[in-house]
Structure 1
Amino acid sequence: MAVTGIGGLFFRSKDPKALADWYVKHLGVGPTEDNPWIWPQQAGPTVFAPFKADSDYFPADRQWMINFRVDDLDGLIASLKAAGIEVLTKAEWDAPEVGRFARIHDPEGNPIELWEPTAE
């Protein structure tokens, strides 16, 4: 039921490719030639993907959305709801090859995506 790591960090960029290239070049953070979306780390993969400035993947008034990888999405959702935290789920967010998703917001309105990856 606990968060087990970062599942992804999504943020807007005026030039997503150039920014992603800078992170890879200077920090070693970001996608590899073998997989243009995944940055392998200990404890599981993390998506590192600058989004276009006009993306509608998360609210337009926010520059980022953090994604936390979880091991029991249903249990965490129940716990969050019991605490009075609004949880949004949509069937179209879930994909058998990727996993299941839910979204919440922190007290300041920052978007948080919760991701339970498909079991390997």
Structure 2
Amino acid sequence: MARVTGIGGLFFRATDARTLARWYEEHLGLPELWTQEAGLTVFAPFARDSDYFAADRAFMINLRVEDLDGLLARLGAAGIAIETRPDEWDTEETGRFARIHDPEGNPIELWEPPAPKG
């Protein structure tokens, strides 16, 4: 049966695409071509009036990460503003979350999934 097997790319407009691509590679380790590790990927449209991310943005990138604390320390040292809400966003079932924005204001959610049980 024909089916989709994964996300093949994420494409979005930028005022300065080259500079923004370098920012993603420098701060998040995302080169233009990237082979991601196997794991859960959530594909979920949100209601237009959702307050989960800024109303003036059509999308939010969610990136699965290891060692969220280490990444946040590195991003903070680079002067990147970080938002966390442990009591609101983090749970044993879903993991831990933080939010940043790229230089063009696009929201990025950093997600450290919970450790596998067992």
What is the correspondence of 1:1-120 to structure 2 with a 5 Å cutoff?
28=4, 43-91=38-86, 92-120=88-116
> 1:5 corresponds to which residue?
none
Q: Root-mean-square deviation (CA), in Å?
A: 1.9
TM-score, normalising length: structure 1: 0.66
Aligned-partner Cα distance in 1 for 2:66–2:78: 19
- CA deviations over 1:60-93 (Å, ceiling 9, x no partner): 0000000000010000000000000000000110
Aligned-partner Cα distance in 2 for 1:112–1:64: 9
Pick 1 or 2: higher relative contact order, CA cutoff 8 A, min separation 6. Answer: 1
Aligned-partner Cα distance in 1 for 2:91–2:67: 16
Show structure 1 runs of 5+ residues with no match.
Answer: 1-25, 31-40
Cα shift at 1:42: 5.9
Counterpart of 1:73, as a letter, is L
> What secondary structure is seen at the aligned counterpart in 2 of 1:115?
strand
Aligned-partner Cα distance in 2 for 1:64–1:29: 21
Aligned-partner Cα distance in 1 for 2:71–2:103: 17
Cα shift at 1:27: 5.9
